[in-house]
Every structure is written in C-alpha cells, then in structure tokens.
A and B are shown apart, each in its own frame.
Chain A
C-alpha cells in the first residue's frame, strides 16, 4: 500500500515536470519576441545569441512609431474592436432577451436557423462578403471591417443562457406595474446579466482585434490598416532588421497580454460556455 502510493507520486511528479517544462517552453517565443525588440540591429542577429539583451534600446519602438503609422494602426484596431463589440452587445442582448423571455411566432425556428450559423466562419464566404462591402462603398473603411463582425450568432448564444437563468416572474411583476417591454429589458434584466456582457465584451474584443484576414482584405490603403495588418506588412518588408519587426509585433501583443492578465476569469468562463452544453 505504502509502496504503491510512492510509485504513484513518482509518476505524478514526472508528468508534472514535463507539463511545467513545456509550459515554460510555450512562453519562450514571447520571451524572445520581447527581448529581441529591445536589442539593437547588430545584437539581434548575433550568433550565438545573447539570451538576455546586453544593451537595452528603445530605438526599434521609436522607429515603429515614427517611420510607420503605428499609432494610426493602433487607433484603427481599437475603433474596429471597440465599435464591433459594443454594437454586438447592443443587438445581441436585445435578441437574446427576446429569444429567452418573449413569445412570438416562429421564435424557435428563427433561433435554430440563427444559432446554426455559429460555427460557420465568415472567411469561407469572403468573396460575396467583399462584394457586399464594395456595394456599400465600405472598402478601405473601418465600417467595412466592423459590420460583418456584428452578424455573428456568438453574442446571442452566450447571453441567452444568462437571460434564461433569471426568473420570468420579474418581468411579469413589472408588466403588472405597467412598465414597457424595453424598460423591463433595460432597467431590470440588463443589469442582472452584467457578468455575461462582461465575458462577451472581453472575448469579442480579443476576437476582433486578432481578426487578420478580413481586415487585410477590407483595409488596403495606408490610412485604413489595422495593427495586425500593419505589423504583418512590416514582416514582409525588405528591411532585414528583425528587432524592429519584433517591436511592431510586441506593440500588437501587449494590449492582449494586459487584457488576459486583468480579466483572466472572464476567459475561463466565456470559453467554457459552449463546451458545457
């Protein structure tokens, strides 16, 4: 019995050492990204490399912001991610409330059709989608990047569960008091689904921020590039200075790292929602 337990723990220690080793290894590319971005152009290509930068220089960041419109890219990315997310929260909370609490003809069939689109990536329909954007005159505009992201079923899918968990009796009581449907939604239910809205905000913001392909197609001119598209063009740049490219990539990565550090619990909650069903 005792011996068995020891053997058991040994195996556990070995597997956990492997897990820990790979966890650190999985952070290594980011360590390399960060430290390389502070190296000067000579040190960054030195072999054998400096595992820790011997000289810290900010010049790559200065280059990224001065020689490239990185501030404009960042601004575009923030606007696209923020507006798309707020718009999604507005339209999907209204719809999720209706699907959860209201009775109307065809509700179930509409819901099923709508939710069926949940896993269809918009990328597969990129040709007709781009033609629509052309017809709306939205090529090279941030609107063109925003609206297709608000068509997703993800918001309704995530929020409906939160609305479902709040009893119908609240609505009925307010109805008797003569409150309008919108007022009931806005004043009573919306505050109660705040955790769901928080999770939706974070998850969707990250999703749109990192959404590269669509932004690449819509934002073709210099003024409508987003950060992801901008730094990818740095990559294809002939400039051989990798430190400078890494600085660009760091600028795009840092906001996401901060969001992750501060809102970790929302991720776990939001991501696991689909799998628990």
Chain B
C-alpha cells in the first residue's frame, strides 16, 4: 500500500512538472493542427462554415497560382539546399584545420547575415538590386548587361531569390560542418596524409563520409526552412512579376489574410504540415535512438 502511494505521488509530481509546457503545447500546437485539418475540409465565410470534403484541395490543384507556388517552392528547395551543402562543405573542409582565430573569423563572417535576420537582409538586397539606384544594376549597366531590373524580369527573379536566400543562410550550415569536422579524430586523416594522400582525396574519401549525419541534418533542416520561405518573397518581389516568384507560404498568407479564403489557406497548411512531418521522421528517429 505504501509503495503504491509512493509511485502515485511520483506520477503526480512528474505530471505537475510537465503540465505548463504540455498545456501550451496542446493549446498552441496540437489543437491548431487538428483544427487546421478540420478547417481544410470546410468552406468558411466569416461566421458560416460549410463542410465540402476535399473541395478545397480540388480547388487548389486546379488553381494555376497554387501550381506555380508549388513549382517555385520545389525549385527553391532543390537549388538552395544543394548550394548550401556544397558551398558549406567547400568552406568548412578548407578551413577547419587552420588556426582558431582564422576559423572564428570566417565562421563569423558567414554567420552574421543569419543573425541579422531575413527581414534586414531582404531590405539591404532590395536596395542593392533596386533598378533605379541600386549598386548591382549600376554594375550591370557598366558591364553592359541587357538586364538591370533583376527582380522584374521573369527569367532572373528565381535565380536572384535563390542566391539571396542561400547567401543569407549558408552560415548556419558552415557552423555545423566546422563543429563536426573538428570532431573527426585526427589520426584518421593524419595516417592518410603520411601515406601521401592528397588533401582532395582526404576530403572526399574520409572527411565527407565522416560528417554524413551532419549533412543529413543540414539537408532536412534546410528543406523545412526553405519550404516556409516567405520574408524574402514579400519584401523583394511580392510574388511577382505576375506570380512568377510566389511560394507556398506566400500563397497561404495571401489566401488567409488578404483574400479571406481560410479553408483554402488551411488546406495549404495541411499539405505543408504533412511534408514537414514526413521529412522530420528520419531525423527524429536518429535523435530518439541516441536519447
């Protein structure tokens, strides 16, 4: 009887300790997910809600702007993630065994844009790219390029956004790779060095395979981050010209807060939720195994 009492008490103590966090989790995360799924099946008009099954989803797939948003988002994910991984690997393998001051300077230089946020960086880039008085169009004019309005030109707008997003966020991946490379046991590549293996060979045959878990982590985190890309679209292009740079998150935002299409917006949210959930499962598995 006493033993039972004891374990009962410990249960209660445990629940009390997690209660505040769980309450917030239920109210602001679990409930919105369930409610989001429900709303995605309804046509919502201010106070009235009509059940329409998968009607919102059907409407989505027949909306060319949604198709364009999905296409752009996929393009952004593929190119930004690939650029990030390749460039971050290039930088970190070049510097990780150099002296600490140099490493911390390089790391800082690439990380500072991450710190000052996408809003600030988008503002600077919007100034740099401004066709009337921006630095980049000025240089383009000097070089007699045909385009100076990079954000107003359909064929330039996606590459420019890819570049700006990549340049602003690559610092995060660089920090992760440097930490991971510093953790690789020195004997592993010193032995290869003695055998006369070139640095290139050491990088490709030893270092890159050794940091594979970090690569997977970076890929997943970046896919999720790029999937919800919004700020740079809103501040640089507004989705234009002619919807050519719109993304899923921007489409969701417009439907929810401009066109008052809450059902449609919820359906986009559910699709994005399912994608992130599917993507995060392998990473969660690895993390839970270690725990």
Report yes or no: B127 in contact with A246, Cβ–Cβ below 8 A.
yes
- Tell me the dominant secondary structure on chain A's binding face: helix
Residue A95 lies at the interface, judged by CB distance under 8 Å to chain B: yes
What is the bound-complex CA distance between A54 and B132, given in angstroms? 21
Closest to B30 in A: A117
Would you call B18 and A95 a contact (CB within 8 A)?
Answer: yes
Interface membership of chain B positions 180-202, coded 1 if the CB is closer than 8 angstroms to chain A and 0 otherwise: 10010000000000001011100
Residues of chain B with a CB closer than 8 A to A276's CB: 179-180, 183
CB <8 Å contact, A19 and B95: yes
* Contact A277/B117 with A19-B91, A124-B228, A264-B108 known, Cβ cut-off 8 Å: no
Q: Is B151's beta carbon under 8 Å from chain A? A: no
Contact B125 A104 (CB under 8 A): no
| CB 8 Å contact bits of A217-234 with B (1 = contact, 0 = none) | 100000000001001100
Stretch at the interface among B59-67, B71-79, B251-259: B251-259
Residues of A close to B111: CB separation below 8 A: 260, 267
The B interface, classified by DSSP as helix, strand, loop or mixed, is helix
Cβ of A67 under 8 Å from chain B:
no
Per the bound structure, the CA–CA distance linking A77 and B120 in Å amounts to: 14
- Nearest neighbor of A11 in chain B, beta-carbon distance: B199
Cα A32 to Cα B266 with chains together (Å): 40
A210 beta carbon closer than 8 Å to chain B: yes
Q: Which residues of A contact B171 (CB under 8 A)?
A: 26
Whether the Cβ atoms of A264 and B117 lie closer than 8 Å is no
In the complex, residue of chain B having the shortest beta-carbon distance to the beta carbon of A34: B124
Contact between A252 and B120, CB atoms less than 8 A apart: yes
A68-76, A149-157, A190-198: which one contacts chain B?
A149-157
| CB-defined contacts of A129 to chain B, threshold 8 Å | 28, 32
Contact of A252 among B29, B119, B224, B256 (CB under 8 A): B119
B95 touches A16 (CB 8 A): yes
Q: Using A124-B272, A147-B24, A271-B172 as known contacts, say yes or no to A12 and B199 having CB atoms under 8 A apart.
A: yes
A119 touches B276 (CB 8 A): yes
Asked, given contacts A95-B22, A119-B220, A127-B269, whether A246 binds B124 with beta carbons under 8 Å apart, the answer is yes
Chain B, Cβ-Cβ closest to A147 = B28
Q: Please give, as numbers and ranges, the residues of chain A lying within 8 Å of B221 by CB-CB distance.
A: 119, 274
B35 x A274 contact (CB < 8 A): no
User: Can you give 16 contacting A-B residue pairs, CB < 8 Å?
Assistant: A23-B91, A23-B106, A26-B113, A26-B171, A29-B124, A117-B29, A120-B33, A125-B33, A126-B265, A127-B36, A150-B24, A181-B13, A213-B230, A228-B119, A275-B176, A275-B180
A94-B20, A268-B175 provided; 20 other pairs, C-beta below 8 A? Answer: A23-B109, A26-B112, A29-B113, A29-B125, A32-B128, A33-B124, A91-B21, A92-B21, A95-B20, A98-B13, A102-B14, A117-B29, A121-B224, A132-B28, A235-B126, A259-B115, A260-B111, A272-B175, A275-B180, A277-B286
